[in-house]
Chain A
Amino acid sequence: MSGYPAAYLGWQARDVLRGPGLVAAIISGFFAVLVWKLPGAALEAGGATLLAGYLQQVGWPLVLVATGEIVRTDRVEGYYRFYFARPVRPALFYLVRWLLGFALVLAAVASTGLAVLARTGESGLDPGLVGQLALTYLLLGGTVFFLSTAGTSGPRDWLAALLIHVFQNTVADLLGRGVDLWAALRWLHAVLPPMHRLGAGLDAADALHAGLYGAGLVAATLLLLERRPLGGGARD
């Protein structure tokens, strides 16, 4: 891959494991213990239901942990000067890092699947669940990635994405109950990343909307990294 030395993949994977990997391990470990301690009656629903419930609760925080501060920290702390005075393309460098985040989320969910398998006899890790996880990563992780790249001022990227997540789900819930909201709120709800469409009952239209939106965000992020300089000021 031109512009990204493949030999650096090991170093980036190490950084992911030592940073967000630790948090993901704690979350997965906690859930594994919970599964282990569940009473027998709670296991009757089966592994797939258990794991789906886990993803509903823990999937999006895992994505935030895996993608948070990818670009922002390097720009704020000035580490980008170390990386990009060398023959390295920022778009490729950060795309690899972002994809490693997905590998981390998959590994965390798979390890929880193992705990579920040990307890219920089925892992619950079916293609549909992995697809939903990928879609969540694409949209929510893509939002964090974009926010991380777009600016260094304002709230942290993962916090801003979390606020959007909460806003979208709250507004969707209110609209679902027939509450009449301000036009500005409805407009914001329509243009912000459709995170409310990732919940239970996800259909093909939801998946297409979320997928296209997420892919657009990732593409916009890569374009920004390719075209826009990383420095914000002389000593930034």
Chain B
Amino acid sequence: MITLDGLGKTYRSPLRRRAVEALTGVTLAIPDGEVLGIAGPNGAGKSTLISLLLGFLDPSAGRVAIDGRAPRAWVRARGAGYLPELVALPGRWRAADALARAAVLSGMPGRERARRVAAAIERLGLEEHAGKQVRQLSKGTLQRLGLAQALLADHALLILDEPTHGLDPLWTQRFRDVVREERRPGRVIVVASHNLDELERVADRVAILHRGRLERVAEPGAGPTGGWRRLRLAAPHPALAIAFPGAEPVGSGGIEVRVRGEAAELSAALRVLLEAGAVVEAWYPERSRLEAAFREAVGEG
């Protein structure tokens, strides 16, 4: 269980002439077993919050605790899986060596290290890059190496900062499976991302930060999800029920509905509706609950 209680962080210049408030009064409890998403625009305080969770920074105000202990003491005792936003590893290291080092530093017994490293290489598709130096890796491959080292040991705390940054669409999709596989009781997974769609798919709750404040905690699972579209007619038309028999009415008046289906199926239904003489005023993808919450939180609702 992670608890944040009035957590704040202010960066000060060496002579304390300038101060930047990166986080203010963040209060939140993250129970074991939860996948928490952290969303927010650039500079919202996501990376600062993560640095505080790992004990890389001390809070200026409030308190953060993991199982009742200060993060630095907790991490030094138990370790965490961590993918930083920018994967930084010495350029001359070879990819497989980086993982071997990570295995040693994570305290794995000798007989287990090689097996875990080989498994991580296979899982993240790094076989052909294992012998390459870090400086030779493409951005996407480096990101996969970063993920591999974060997932190598089975730590009770896993923190992924912009995990799909630089990944191609295939690996972005696979990442969702990875989070699902990593989820287990007793483990907290924190995923910070700009990508709301990604958070919607992997997180139980999403903490939305804006200008250093926790504006709200949204539950992506509850309410509308992606894939729905809205259809609004200029006036009620009987063909609507024929073309879209499964449509859900929105409000009263019978001119707006929510529909979901394959693109070809929806196109055919629309054609039926138009041929029947209905006038379509609007046809747009429905905003997810998370996206709506995010826009509202950052003042773009």
The answer, among B47, B92, B107, B110, for a CB contact under 8 Å with A86, is: B107
Pair A87/B75 contact, Cβ less than 8 Å: yes
Report Cα–Cα, A105/B226, bound state, in Å.
Answer: 63
List chain A residues, Cβ under 8 A from B45. Answer: 234
A57 contacts B by Cβ under 8 Å: no
B24 CB within 8 Å of chain A:
no
| A86 x B102 contact (CB < 8 A) | yes
Query: Is the contact region of chain A dominated by helix, strand, or loop, or is it mixed?
Result: loop
| A30 contacts partner chain B, Cβ-Cβ < 8 Å | no
Nearest opposing residue in chain B for A7, CB measure: B104
- A81 contacts which chain B residues (CB < 8 A)? 54, 56, 82, 84, 88
Distance in angstroms from A225 CB to nearest chain B CB is: 11
Within 8 A of A (CB), among B53-107: 54-58, 72, 75-82, 84-86, 88-90, 92, 97-98, 101-102, 104-107
Task: Give the one of A7, A81, A230 with max B CB within 10 A.
Answer: A81
Residue of B22, B81, B101 with most chain A CB atoms under a 10 A cut-off: B101
* Bound Cα distance from A149 to B121, whole angstroms: 34
The interface residues of chain B lying within 8 Å CB-to-CB of A85 are 54, 75, 79-82, 159
Q: Are B110 and A7 in contact (CB under 8 A)?
A: yes
Q: Is B11 an interface residue (CB 8 A)?
A: yes
- Which listed residue (A3, A18, A235) contacts B86, Cβ 8 A? A235
> How many residues of A are counted as interface, with CB atoms below 8 angstroms from the partner's CB atoms?
26
**With A153-B14, A235-B47 as given contacts, are A86 and B84 in contact (CB-CB < 8 Å)?**
no
Is residue B51 contacting chain A, with contact meaning CB distance below 8 A? Answer: yes
Given contacts A8-B104, A11-B104, A78-B88, contact A87 B56 (CB under 8 A): no
A231 at the interface (CB under 8 A from B): yes
Q: Which of A76-93 contact B (CB under 8 A)?
A: 77-89
Give the number of A-B contacts (CB < 8 Å).
Answer: 84
CA distance A83 to B153 in the complex (A): 13
A20 to B45, CA, bound (A): 38
Q: Which residue of B lies closest to A15 (CB)?
A: B90
A5 to B76 CA separation, bound complex (whole angstroms) = 12
A146–B76 Cα gap in the complex (Å)? 22
Q: Is B48 an interface residue (CB 8 A)?
A: yes
- A78, B146: Cα distance in complex, Å: 13
List chain A residues, Cβ under 8 A from B75: 84-87
With contacts A81-B82, A229-B55 taken as known, whether A86 is within 8 angstroms of B88 at the C-beta atoms is: no
Residue of B55, B104, B105, B149 with highest tally of chain A CB at under 10 A: B105
Contacts of B159 in A (CB 8 A): 85
Residue A128 lies at the interface, judged by CB distance under 8 Å to chain B: no
Say yes or no: B79 contacts A79, CB within 8 Å.
Answer: no
A40 within 8 A of B: no
Whether B14 and A234, one on each chain, are in contact in the complex, defined by CB atoms closer than 8 angstroms, is no
From A78, A87, A231, A234, give the contact of B107 (CB < 8 A): A87
Q: Can you sample 21 A-B contacts with CB below 8 Å?
A: A5-B105, A5-B107, A7-B104, A7-B110, A78-B84, A78-B86, A79-B88, A79-B89, A81-B54, A81-B82, A82-B98, A84-B75, A84-B76, A87-B75, A87-B77, A87-B107, A153-B14, A231-B51, A234-B51, A235-B47, A235-B86
